Amino acid sequence: MLQEKLKNFNVILASGSPRRQEFFKDLNIDFEIRLKPIEEVYPNELKHEEITNFLSELKAKPFQNELNSNDLLVTSDTIVWFDNGALGKPKDANEAFNMLKRLSDATHDVITSVCFTTTTVQKTVNALTKVTFKNLSDDEIWYYLNTFKPYDKAGAYGIQDWIGKVAVTNIEGSYFNVMGLPLHLVYKTLNELADML
């Protein structure tokens, strides 16, 4: 399977996210984690998947001069898109509360882009999932924030947490995309790259 196809590649996951690291283990492929700090800033005119495409490619840039011919670098970025604007990770509890208050009783998009980089090729793919929340009370929002502290997550929530179990009334698209990585797309693209390179 995929592990056999990738046996001549050194797969590098450039993500500090425990969820993304766990997903790569679930794919049953050998990989290493390599991190480089980067300021996640994008041009204001970018919209929707243009933002995540830009940021996932930006995260690959610090590695490009040190990749070996058999290295395959994977970088990614996730945003919540709502009301014609991007919601990233909240800076504090009040910003997190305001984000969830806006998402309450509404549908938003979760967009993840994944960038695959080698010394000869760069390919970026993205996935979109629509998530609908029930009407959340202020008490429910504060309970979630105080109990789960989701400040490292775009849109101030993790669908795998309590809030996903009690508040998500509808989902269209990949569940794992909302957790931070569209696994079906990663698997498909790694297969394609292994066949091509």
Facing residues of 113 across strands? 77, 126
In whole angstroms, give the CA distance from residue 195 to residue 172.
Answer: 30
Among candidates 105, 103, 124, 116, which has minimal Cα distance to 178? 103
Domain covering 2-196 assigned CATH 3.20.20.70 in the classification: no
Q: Which of 26, 30, 71, 77 is catalytic?
A: 77
Q: pLDDT for 11-64, tens place per residue?
A: 999 999 898 999 999 999 999 999 999 999 999 999 999 999 999 999 999 998
C-alpha span between 85 and 70 (Å, rounded): 38
Residue 77 falls in the annotated catalytic set: yes
Percent of the chain residues topping a pLDDT of 70:
100
Q: How many CB atoms lie within 10 A of CB 61?
A: 13
- Residue 88: what pLDDT? 87
**What is the pLDDT, as a whole number, of residue 21?**
94
* Contact between residue 81 and residue 53 where contact means Cβ atoms under 8 Å apart: no
Give the domain ranges of the chain: 2-196
Encode pLDDT of 72-106 as tens digits: 999 999 999 999 999 988 999 999 999 999 999 99
Residue of 63, 62, 59, 75 lying closest to 126 (CA atoms): 75
Mean per-residue pLDDT, 127-134: 98
Residue 197 pLDDT grade (very low, low, confident, very high; cuts 50, 70, 90): confident
Q: For residue range 148-189, what is the model confidence (pLDDT) as tens digits?
A: 999 989 999 999 999 999 999 999 999 999 999 999 999 999
Distance spanning both ends of the chain, measured CA to CA: 16
Q: Rounded to an integer, what is the distance from CA 50 to the centroid of its chain?
A: 14
Report pLDDT for 1: 85
CA 180, CA 106: separation in Å to the nearest integer? 20
